[in-house]
Amino acid sequence: MSFEQLGLSIDLLRAISEQGYKKPTPIQEQAIPAILNGSDVMGGAQTGTGKTASFTLPMLRRLEVYANNSMSPAKHPVRALILVPTRELAVQVYESVRTYARYLPLRATVVFGGVNIDAQIEAVRFGIEILVATPGRLLDHLQQKTLSLSKVEILILDEADRMLDMGFLPDIKQIVQILPEERQNLMFSATFSGEIKKLANKILKKPVLIEVAKQNSVSEMITHVVHPIESCRKQELLIFLIEQKELQQVLIFTRTKQGADRLAQYLNRHNISSAALHGDRNQLQRSQALESFKNGLTRVLVATDVAARGLDIDELSYVINFELPNTAEDYIHRIGRTGRAGTKGVAISLVCQEESKLLAGIEKLLKAKIKIEEISEFEATKQQLQSVKSNALIEEKKIKRTNSSSNRIKQPSLIKQNKAATVDFKNEVITKKNHHMEKSEDPLFTQPYISKFSHVQANQIENEKLIERNMLHRRRYGYSNKPLPALFIPSVMNKQKLEG
């Protein structure tokens, strides 16, 4: 099937041809006709399969009837709203809209947090048909009443699972309540979970389900490799791999923001140009790091999972997991940055013994074992290989044991036979425990404090101190036992001084 058979306009086909695309991808073949028919769509596909174009192209085709060159903002109300979870993905979707709408008089803009809102307000007030936004910044505009969503006809939720993971569900509900009830709803996600299906049931109306690949699957063009290594030697192994394979462009993922900064600094000290990309960087820093990496000025981009969605880098061959993600689904989104658009990619993971459980979870999700390769230059690798394998097997056995124990039926006869022995065993344990406690008791903490002096001796000492204080007052003031305020001289003492 060709793009001409999908019912797209001449202007859209011209823009597609200039990008070098000749045939639609499977998700595009199924989604574009369904969207053009006006149906709600719930689409799922692997990252890098043309998912963005699958909703951008039919959206533009449906909005062509509103295209005009009028300078009046009233002639350009918001007709389509695209919600995305991250700034990087917002920019990517916005650029895709601009690319395909090159020959259409339709206006679009993007709004996201981390930058000054004034420029965005100016762009919105100028009049736009297509708005790409992150939920938080969109609510900021709605609260300031800088835009209206009363004319929205198409709502698109891209990377819906990621938005739920980032806690945007309350924001999405608030935004949906503001939109007109009569609209077309499109939801796209790389993975489908129970929460995603619940959200779809609330927003979508009789949706067309489009799923071109198995859930949580990855591209067959990606090769997965695990290198077992001690955690203290990960940085050393990383430099070895970059230099041995002569990697000129590699995306490395860490689990924390601080870890990304430390690793980027470490690589720079070893003459490997690197930049960090995470949520604590402002938008200018993130844009500069990304552009420098795309243009080849920076050899390594160290990122957290905030960058696992929305990064579209041409011909990125290598992705390295310096640390495995906490959830197996994030592994899919990380490695989805390579092996895109039919190109080959390699996903390398540096796994220490403490990450064996995470590795077992990833293999369970993928329903496949990941190839483990040992590096001869690192002596600890062989021992680490055995520990990673054994720990992965242990985790699998634990999962099976947990599942079987939930269905296990108790046997009363065995309980009766062992009841007396259990009681005796408990008593024995308690006796030993008490015996151990008696040996280890410290009287400083277990016994009440007893003074070495009797109450009579204590009272006698207190009386002696009181007598001494009274004698001191008599010598100083003549008669008073009470302390006197400063600069006060009794009249009797004045008379004695005058008579003297």
Residue whose tokens read 């198409």: 154
Mean pLDDT of 393-412: 53
The tens digit of pLDDT for each residue in 19-53 reads 988 899 888 999 999 999 999 999 887 666 788 99
User: What is the pLDDT at residue 199?
Assistant: 86
Q: The whole model's pTM is what?
A: 0.65
- The domains found in the chain, sorted by start residue, are 3-211 (3.40.50.300), 222-405 (3.40.50.300), 455-494 (no CATH)
The tens digit of pLDDT for each residue in 181-213 reads 999 999 988 777 778 888 888 899 999 998 876
Buried b (16+ CB within 10 A) or exposed e, 40-70: bbbbbbbbbbbbbbbbbbbbbbbbeebbeee
User: What is the pLDDT at residue 324?
Assistant: 94
The tens digit of pLDDT for each residue in 65-121 reads 999 999 999 999 999 999 999 888 899 899 999 999 999 999 999 999 888 899 999
User: What is the pLDDT at residue 283?
Assistant: 77
Here the tokens at position 12 are 């859209």
What's the mean per-residue pLDDT of the chain? Answer: 79
Could you tell me which residue, 125 or 390, shows the higher pLDDT?
Answer: 125
Could you tell me which residue, 142 or 402, shows the higher pLDDT?
Answer: 142
CA angle 395, 396, 399 (to 5 degrees): 85
Most confident of 116-130, 375-389, 431-445, 485-499: 116-130
Q: Using pLDDT thresholds of 50, 70 and 90, give the confidence band for residue 309.
A: low
Sign of CA dihedral 319, 325, 329, 330: negative
Residue 336 exposure: Cα atoms within 13 Å on the Cβ side? 26
pLDDT value at 365 more than 90: no
CA angle 297, 299, 303 (to 5 degrees): 110
Here the tokens at position 408 are 């296990």
Round the CA-based radius of gyration of the chain to a whole number and report it.
Answer: 36
Question: DSSP string spanning 329-361?
Answer: HHHHHHHTTSS-TT--EEEEEEE-GGGHHHHHH
Least confident range of 92-96, 264-268, 334-338: 334-338
